[in-house]
Copies of this chain bind each other. A is one copy, B any other.
Amino acid sequence: MADAYAGRRERLREHCGASGTDAALITRAANVRYLTGCPPCGATLLLTRDRALLALPDDLPPDDTGEHLISPEVTRLEVAAGADTALAAAGAVSGLRVAGLAVEEHDLTVTRHRAVAGLVEGTRLVDVGQAVERLRVVKDEYEIADLRIAAEIADQALGELLESILVGRTERHLAMELERRMIDHGADRAAFPVSVGTGSHSGQQAHQPTDRRVEEGDFLTVVLGARYRGYGVSTARTFVIGAAPAPWQVELHRLVFRAQRAGREALGPGVEQHVPDQAAREILQSAGHTETSPHPVGHGIGLEIREAPRLGPTDMGKLDSRVPVTVGPGVHLPGRGGVRIEDTLVVRPLEEGGPELLTITTKELLAL
């Protein structure tokens, strides 16, 4: 695993060399983690041709999500809690004769950038852009293994919820319970706040759970994901509460199910990013459903819940193998509710069996 981190840092060094810088100051938490294993704590990585120096707060908890994950060949520089690690790392540059220092201008504030520039006089600051984010797009098998475990945890928590009594419980309670169950099953934490929407709240994109109670006849939409060793997944399912779903519910669920399947089946290496969105969107539109704003049908997922590549209607790049993405269309009918179905999958070529489904909870319209 230490080798994997070293390999990632080597690829960043190559990128910097090619763009004329001899060191990089990496501040974005997910990028620092990707290159060192260090969990999010405000740490900064200074990477030179022959060194990797990690400036991190001196109160990092030494437990199972903490410091022993940091790649051992990285030199640590402990900084008083509350102090700026980017400045501490920049302070170490002066002794190293660095001509060009790559910085993440999409992460550093103007104020921090100015302070860094003041500390490295004589060194040119150059924007490294989203170079590390681009390295992160295609995952290695360590990363995919963590994503599989994160998906298993989310599936377990969801499966247990489906076996319990739901009528009369509030959205907030169900969301809290799912978060607790994921932690019980070994998650670092929930990858994002669990969304539970019942009745007229069902099917929404990012519904914040309320005190509304689950009632007979409701649609119930659950959007959840676990984070395991930093890697998150996202999944959504919609069920119906009580004996038998109404005809409009059966019809709407079948429609979103078909759209989601079309999106999933469109995934593959070399496929343009907008194709899965288009496949899902055409099915929803042909049934007369158009969302007011064009939310992408999915996005890359990994150390961040939304990362490259985006799968929106205007996204033009091509998908690669070993890229984990979400595919999650939905329809919400104001005042009535709706359906959302989302999976996390890994893009794989057909000869490896096509897209690898990580979130395997049934997508059938269960009556609970």
- Chain B: minimal CB distance from A43 (Å): 15
Please give, as numbers and ranges, the residues of chain B lying within 8 Å of A210 by CB-CB distance.
Answer: 63-64
Tell me the interface secondary structure of chain A in the complex: loop
Interface residue total, chain A, C-beta cutoff 8 A: 38
Please give, as numbers and ranges, the residues of chain B lying within 8 Å of A176 by CB-CB distance.
Answer: 176, 179-180, 183
Of A102-110, A142-150, A152-160, which stretch is located at the interface?
Answer: A102-110
Cβ–Cβ contact A61 & B293, under 8 A = no
Does any Cβ of B come within 8 Å of A204's Cβ? Answer: yes
Contact with B along A101-129 (1 / 0, CB 8 A): 00001111111111000000000000100
Residue among A58, A61, A66 facing the most chain B CB atoms (10 A cut-off): A61
Does any Cβ of B come within 8 Å of A359's Cβ? Answer: no
Does any Cβ of B come within 8 Å of A250's Cβ? Answer: no
Please give, as numbers and ranges, the residues of chain B lying within 8 Å of A127 by CB-CB distance.
Answer: 110-111
- Contact partner, A106, options B61, B82, B111, Cβ 8 Å: B111
- Chain B: minimal CB distance from A227 (Å): 13
The list of the 8 closest CB pairs from A to B, nearest first, reads A105-B110, A106-B111, A61-B208, A80-B293, A105-B111, A176-B180, A110-B113, A63-B210
A residues with a Cβ closer than 8 A to B are: 58-59, 61, 63-66, 80-82, 105-114, 127, 172-173, 176, 179-180, 183, 204-208, 210, 292-296
